[in-house]
Amino acid sequence: MNDLMTVVDWSRWQFALTAIYHWLFVPLTLGLGVIVAIMESIYFKTQSQRWLQITKFWMLLFGINFAIGVATGIILEFEFGTNWSNYSWFVGDIFGAPLAIEGLLAFFMEATFIAVMFFGWKKVSPGFHLASTWLTAIGATLSAFWILVANAWMQYPVGMEFDPAQMRNVMDNFWAVAFSPVALNKFFHAVLSGWCLSGVFVVAVSCWFMFKKRNREMALDSIKIGGWVGAAGILLTFATGHSSAVDVARTQPMKLAAMEGLYRGEVGQELVAVGVLNPDKKPGDSQDVYKAKIALPYGLSILANNDPNTFVPGIDDLIEGIELTPQGDTVRTVSYAERIEIGKAAHAALRDYDAARAAHDDQAMKDAEKRIREYYPYFGYGYLDSVEEAVPPVGMTFYSFHIMVIFGGWLLCFFALVLLAAYWKPRWYDSQWLPILAFLTVPIVWVCSEAGWITAEVGRQPWIIQDIMPNKAAISAISASSVITTFWLFAIVFTIFLIAEMSIMWRQIVKGSKMKIS
pLDDT in tens, 57-91: 999 999 888 888 777 777 777 777 788 888 888 88
Residues 418 and 441: beta-carbon distance below 8 Å = no
Look at 83-97, 180-194, 346-360 and tell me which has the smallest mean pLDDT.
83-97
**What span, in angstroms and rounded, lies between the C-alpha atoms of 311 and 354?**
43
Instruction: Enumerate the domain spans of the chain.
Output: 2-252+392-514, 257-277+290-332, 336-383
Look at 158-172, 317-331, 428-442 and tell me which has the smallest mean pLDDT.
317-331
Q: Tell me the one-letter amino acid at 151.
A: N
**What span, in angstroms and rounded, lies between the C-alpha atoms of 514 and 485?**
44
Q: Tell me the one-letter amino acid at 451.
A: A
Query: What is the sign of the dihedral through the CA atoms of 61, 62, 65 and 66?
Result: negative
Q: Tell me the one-letter amino acid at 33.
A: G
Is residue 342 over pLDDT 90?
Answer: yes
Residues 466 and 152: beta-carbon distance below 8 Å = no
Is residue 201 over pLDDT 70?
Answer: yes
Look at 1-5, 238-242, 273-277, 385-389 and tell me which has the smallest mean pLDDT.
1-5
**pLDDT tens figures, 497-509:** 889 888 988 888 8
Query: What is the sign of the dihedral through the CA atoms of 14, 19, 20 and 21?
Result: positive
**Mean pLDDT across 120-139:** 90
Dihedral, CA of residue 148, residue 154, residue 155 and residue 159, to nearest 10 = 90
Is residue 134 over pLDDT 50?
Answer: yes
Strand partners of residue 267: 311
| pLDDT for position 330 | 65
Q: Are strands 330-332 and 322-324 parallel, antiparallel or unpaired?
A: antiparallel
**Mean pLDDT across 282-305:** 87
**What span, in angstroms and rounded, lies between the C-alpha atoms of 95 and 83?**
15
DSSP code at position 429: G
Residues 46 and 494: beta-carbon distance below 8 Å = no
DSSP 231-256: HHHHHHHHHHHHHHHHHHHHH-HHHH
DSSP code at position 311: B
Confidence bin at 1 (pLDDT 50/70/90): very low
Helix extents (H) in 252-284: 253-260
Q: Provide the 10 A C-beta neighbour count for residue 281.
A: 18
Helix extents (H) in 306-393: 315-320, 336-358, 362-375
- What mean pLDDT, rounded, does the chain reach? 88
131: part of which helix (H) or strand (E)? Answer: helix 126-155
- What distance lies between CA 307 and its chain's CA centroid? 27
Residues 487 and 40: beta-carbon distance below 8 Å = no
| pLDDT for position 324 | 66
Contacts of 506 (CB under 8 A, 6+ apart): none
Confidence bin at 411 (pLDDT 50/70/90): very high
**What span, in angstroms and rounded, lies between the C-alpha atoms of 166 and 170?**
9
Look at 93-102, 137-146, 201-210 and tell me which has the smallest mean pLDDT.
93-102
Strand partners of residue 169: 162
Which tops the pLDDT comparison, 324 or 151?
Answer: 151
Residues 79 and 483: beta-carbon distance below 8 Å = no
Count CA atoms closer than 13 A to 84's CA, side-chain side: 26
**Mean pLDDT across 31-53:** 92
**What span, in angstroms and rounded, lies between the C-alpha atoms of 452 and 178?**
22
Q: Which of 159, 100, 18 is nearest to 483 (CA)?
A: 18
**Mean pLDDT across 191-202:** 94
**What span, in angstroms and rounded, lies between the C-alpha atoms of 401 and 421?**
30
**Mean pLDDT across 121-148:** 90
